[in-house]
A and B are shown apart, each in its own frame.
Chain A
């Protein structure tokens, strides 16, 4: 299948107008020795029918299963309006809204995204979105470093291990120091925090709810950070939690970042994801990425446009706040449509998520699988299961994605499994899951 449409007679006219005899004459600037002159060694072309069959076969080699895994990627219900509206091709076949006059759809939606993020988090300013949660965190840390002129950052070991790894990569490339603070009973050890901070500390990074699903004492951590004249950066991987737990902006958090895939985007094997970044007003001109602002057109009508672009790479080049030159536009649009549909029902939905997780936790406990931490949690919790890897494999064979084995990341939590429940795991499925765990653990 081809998507070009220049038959031979068209080509003849075009080549004549150019003043050359053959298409090959258009490539004479490429040294002869480099030109292939033969077909690439790729599988031969397919029709649309064959392509669809091939892709269905490949899809069938994956087994998504009944998913009890979260850990940064969450399966939530996506109302039908999300796909219906986001699949309008005026949205998805457009590009960066440089020409504001024909991009008001994209621009308005991003402006709404920025507004949703601020309303949900209590922060002053949010950008148009980032690649994903982990890179949003890395950029948040770099922003804090640039703002403070300090070159050290402290993060709890309750931070998602992948986010920690990405942060290490970015810090390493910039000669910045990353120190990891051990946790106590599943949360950051606040008693050790003050001692870990010094005049070189730019920021303290806290994930909330943290990787273990526990809710951190963000107010206390932020207080300790501020005493040491460091920024408090909070990272959220499950933003549905913000329907229930206190808005970071109200707790004095300086920079908030994270992953918003869980709003209207499929898990999709981890991508595309939807990073977000919000901050106190003082960071407005330091924000990486795109910002959309409200303005007027020449008739005085409300209109939206990309703004404060002098921060950005295409203007500032090596002096830009970041090299990022895109956002996750379509994912942000999906999040906006999702949040419009969910609206203030985010509160009961968050409560439902919590109660489903609580049911799962107590059912597992009643079968002898106790929770690892005795802490408030949102929709994820860690549970002890002897010989977890073996049990998990059996559960997979029964069609479950049983969660995430903490032992893969933390030596001290071998045989602990991180389990997640959402509105997509019904009470009946949770009951069946608990039964299956018991059966597979024999």
Chain B
């Protein structure tokens, strides 16, 4: 597919200036100006055809099932897109005085209340623009909390099943990482943990349920060990979908968490952003939240900028407001029953799909799963790998699961169907996976050379890295 620049022809245009006649009263000195810009010259029809063609080379949730583990690719209600295009929201300038932004502030305030109800945390800040940004803000909160207490703690504990963002966030915040091993059953190894927790540990980050799709059965003990040494317990909320309306994160002993609104609360993933990663904290940690914080006063909602213990500002304005807005509408639509139904059905769907696949695929840890489960390629014949399976499933009209993660399962295939897939779809996905297993036995070359029916064939990632071409140069 050629890029738009290859369609550029001198003199074509898709933009006309208004006919206002204006004098030049304060010319910018020529020395400060450029001598022209060469971007692209195309007509409107060219643009429409080009991007329509590109969209047809893309696979989204609307195209088909997208069982990407740890990403919760559930269906995104269309009405939310209509909501997020209301001009009362889209045209609102972020520095408008609060009196002119009461609707937006009410959405942020109430959404914080709803998320607090769902998780048991005290308050949420919507400044973090993504999950990783929420993690960073959470670790900054931990840092500031111990500074205020006059304690020097330099270590953050992370299980070996953690997302890569966890250790990267720790490093970005100036802490050191210590890795906690898991047991063969997929829980945190309590013996090892107990020996690792000391006065140097600021916090432990745990994804709950964890990245194996399992609920850590020692959660109460973990919290108690950490709190016993004065450390904080951070919940990576990437997998919150599995316990929606069933249990509250705060009740498990977590002190702070981030939520990925684009996962759990169904805001579109946008081809990779924009998401939203609000940070929620307990009563004790509330003073440390990033500014500004939305509060409710006698004259309506307002933004509190001066909070002496705050970690400070982490976003140009108020975070990804239009994403939070969609999450707000989603929660209002589902209501308490719908929220619980989403969590329960996500877990039901995952366990059903697992029941259909377990006879054909190796299941490294055999337990009731939550919203996702991890298989691997151990039983695949003829050297067919996880990557081959992922590429071949594309030919069957499904997006691939997450592969080679978590790292502690070799050749991992992490499947998260979400609650919005119906029984027939789950069954056809399972049938396709089983068919691939048969192909691996009888016709392995077809699997190893997959995909065959996608807009492009298997892409050479090695060449892309060896000879980086990062822009079109004509």
Contact = CB atoms under 8 A, between A and B. Distances in A.
Answer yes or no: do A and B interact. yes
B454 A101 contact: yes
Contact of B214 (A3, A29, A112, A244): A29
B28 A245 contact: yes
Contacts of B129: 131-132, 135, 271-273, 328
Interface in A312-332: 312-320, 322-332
B315 A131 contact: yes
A270 B317 contact: yes
Contact of A62 (B55, B88, B171): B88
Given A13-B423, A294-B472, A337-B47, 11 more contacts: A6-B349, A40-B340, A51-B79, A91-B270, A99-B391, A105-B271, A267-B94, A269-B89, A325-B163, A339-B40, A342-B39
Contact of B100 (A11, A17, A63, A112): A63
A18 B352 contact: yes
B168 A101 contact: no
Given A135-B133, A325-B130, A91 B247 contact: no
Contacts of A426: 18, 20
A314 B405 contact: yes
B295 interface: no
Given A105-B54, A105-B57, A114-B471, A266 B168 contact: no
Contacts of B59: 90, 94, 99, 102-103
A328 B171 CA distance: 23
B356 interface: yes
A104 B42 contact: no
Nearest to A345: B15
Given A17-B356, A295-B459, A352-B17, A36 B246 contact: yes
A323 B136 contact: yes
A308 interface: yes
A92 B77 CA distance: 12
A114 B470 contact: yes
A214 to B, nearest CB: 11
24 contacts: A29-B217, A35-B246, A36-B248, A40-B118, A41-B336, A42-B336, A62-B103, A81-B47, A87-B81, A99-B59, A119-B471, A131-B273, A166-B315, A244-B28, A245-B28, A259-B316, A291-B470, A323-B165, A326-B272, A329-B271, A340-B40, A359-B22, A376-B32, A393-B97
Contacts of B317: 72-73, 132, 162, 269-271, 273
B42 A340 contact: yes
B152 interface: no
A259 B349 CA distance: 41
B449 A59 contact: no
A46 B48 contact: no
B461 A305 contact: yes
Contact of B273 (A90, A322, A328): A328
A105 B58 contact: yes
A137 to B, nearest CB: 9
Given A59-B86, A102-B455, A272-B129, A120 B39 contact: yes
A404 B68 CA distance: 44
Nearest to A63: B100
B322 A271 contact: yes
Interface stretch (B195-203, B227-235, B326-334, B431-439): B326-334
Contact of B94 (A30, A73, A112, A119): A73
Given A30-B247, A34-B248, A73-B93, A52 B423 contact: no
A83 B36 CA distance: 28
B312 A313 contact: no
A346 interface: yes
Interface in B428-455: 449, 451, 454-455
B172 interface: yes
Nearest to B215: A29
Contact of B456 (A100, A346, A401, A423): A100
Nearest to A301: B456
Contacts of B270: 91-92, 94, 328-331, 333
